[in-house]
Amino acid sequence: MDEKLISIAMEIILNAGNARTLISEAGKSLAEFEVDKAEKELKDAHDSILIAHKAQTSMIQKEAEGEKIDSSVLFNHAQDTLMVTSSEYNMTKQLLNVTKSFDERLNKLRKEMSHETNN
């Protein structure tokens, strides 16, 4: 297998794996309603996903330009890892939005109850 393909596959796997770890941490942060921390972890995860995606796109562009790219289980694994990580990112991002909405509603109810108690 081509050394360049191995290098790019590993770059994708490492960055997607890093993003996956950050996404998992963001999920844990959301479970504790640490929204700011989760947002930071998701931003960092997104940055890693972008690096992995750029590496993948470079190979796709080479093939589209006519360069012969050999089939590789390692590269297929890298693409699969990136795809799963992107899906997990999108789901966790939605969970972040739900958590924020829930937190806002809860705070609104608390204010209303406090206002009613003080009157």
Q: Catalytic positions, please? A: 77
d(CA 76, CA 81): 9
Orientation of helix 3-31 relative to helix 35-64, angle to 10°: 160
Length of the chain: 119
- Closest by CA to 79, choosing from 100, 57, 104, is 57
Question: Which structure tokens are listed for 40?
Answer: 């930071």
d(CA 42, CA 62): 30
